[in-house]
Amino acid sequence: MRVLVTGGAGFIGSFLCERLLEAGQEVICLDNFFTGRKKNLDHLRDHRDFELVRHDITEPVLLEVDRIYNLACPASPVHYQYNPVKTVKTSVMGTINMLGLAKRVRARLLQASTSEVYGDPTIHPQTEDYWGHVNPIGPRACYDEGKRVAETLCFDYHRQNRVDIRVIRIFNTYGPRMLMDDGRVVSNFIVQALAGKDITLYGDGSQSRSFCYVDDLVRGAMLMMDQEQTIGPVNLGNPVEFTIRELADLVLEITGSKSRIISAPLPQDDPTRRQPDITRAREALGWEPRVQLREGLEKTIAYFDALLASDEVHRVRMS
């Protein structure tokens, strides 16, 4: 099996490349290195079944592959809002290019969609048949609407051209290899706590998220790709819900940090609650998360602790 992973140098993608190689598959990783790093793949570089290609998926590409995991797209609000038009292009033109490739070489394509398709949800927890509540003109729209169109494209290529698709809706996923300046809450709080800086709690911290450890997510994505029963969409996430204030308290407790929690403005359109209903994933894939938040945070904190102590961070700060 030859597998293409777009966005493979990023946080989730790098773990996916690793697991696919462990499963004996040939992996071609394609990335434009916007938020991805070659360093995430250093340990795979010499693997005989691994290739890394610099490419932007908004441009067409022709590769003989059997499967495509389409992960290319910045996921952190800070990064996807940096160049919103490019974010839309990546989700729309990029997904068209990847579906066109899948059609041409008869590959199966798995689309990394997101809980953001539900927007600020009016039903709780979110099931896959909920159509969502998204502001189409707000600052998050480039990502949310881009991902919604990407899902539309998957289903239209499936109906119109019989492209074999799989769609997963990923809920907040965290773990090692998130960027230090990523802007997402888990990496922000951990780096702030370890550096003894103030913890930036946006709003009053009563908004909730459900956090999935990266190993669980990658296992779910591979199960989804490898089964014949459902094309999706299927929610993948950890259904245990926490408020953001609870997350801040937990990070402080585990790190033993003396950082203060300070209040910062709540970003516009920040979803109030988010929790996946994973009945479909349980039934179709026999999947559920195994790593609970405390254990996942401990692993992620150990990663950032080592990184902060390393020369690499020093070099980044001096440059």
Residues carrying an active site annotation: 143
Q: Which of residues 218-277 bind ligand UDP (CB under 6 A)?
A: 244, 266-267, 270
d(C-alpha 311, C-alpha 319), whole Å: 12
For residue 200, state whether it binds ligand UDP (rule: CB under 6 A): yes
Binding track, positions 61-80, relative to ligand UDP; x by CB under 6 A: ----------------x---
293-309 vs 311-318: helix crossing angle, rounded to 10: 70
Cβ closer to ligand NAD: 62 or 318? 62
First to last CA, the chain: 42
**Residue 170 and residue 16: Cα distance in Å, rounded?**
14
Write the binding mask 97 to 126 for ligand UDP: x where contact by CB under 6 A, - elsewhere. Answer: ------------------------------
Q: Which of residues 81-100 bind ligand NAD (CB under 6 A)?
A: 90, 94
**C-beta pairs of 247-250 under 8 Å, 24+ apart in sequence:** 247/185, 247/186, 247/189, 247/209, 247/211, 247/293, 248/189, 248/199, 248/201, 248/205, 250/293, 250/294, 250/297
Using CB under 6 A as the binding rule, the residues of this chain from 177 to 196 that contact ligand UDP are 184-185, 188
Residue 125 binding result from ligand NAD, ligand UDP, none, given CB thresholds of 5 to 8 Å by partner type: none
Non-local CB neighbours of 57 within 8 Å, separated by 6+ positions: 6, 30, 32, 70, 72, 90, 93, 94, 95, 97, 98
Rounded distance between C-alpha atoms, residue 257 and residue 196, angstroms: 6
20: contact with ligand NAD by CB under 6 A: no
Least distance to ligand UDP from the beta carbon of 207, Å? 4
Total residues binding ligand UDP (CB under 6 A): 14
Residue 278 CB, nearest approach to ligand UDP (Å): 17
| Contact map string, positions 226 to 265, toward ligand NAD, x by CB under 6 A | ----------------------------------------
> How does strand 199-202 pair with strand 165-170?
unpaired
For residues 288 and 281, the answer to whether their CB atoms sit within 8 Å is: yes
Residue 77 within binding range of ligand NAD, rule CB under 6 A? no
Which region, judged by CB under 6 A, interacts with ligand NAD, from 65-73, 131-139, 187-195, 260-268? Answer: 65-73
Asked if residues 107 and 162 have their Cβ atoms less than 8 Å apart, the reply is no
Provide the binding-site residues for ligand UDP, judged by CB under 6 A.
77, 172, 184-185, 188, 200-202, 207, 209, 244, 266-267, 270
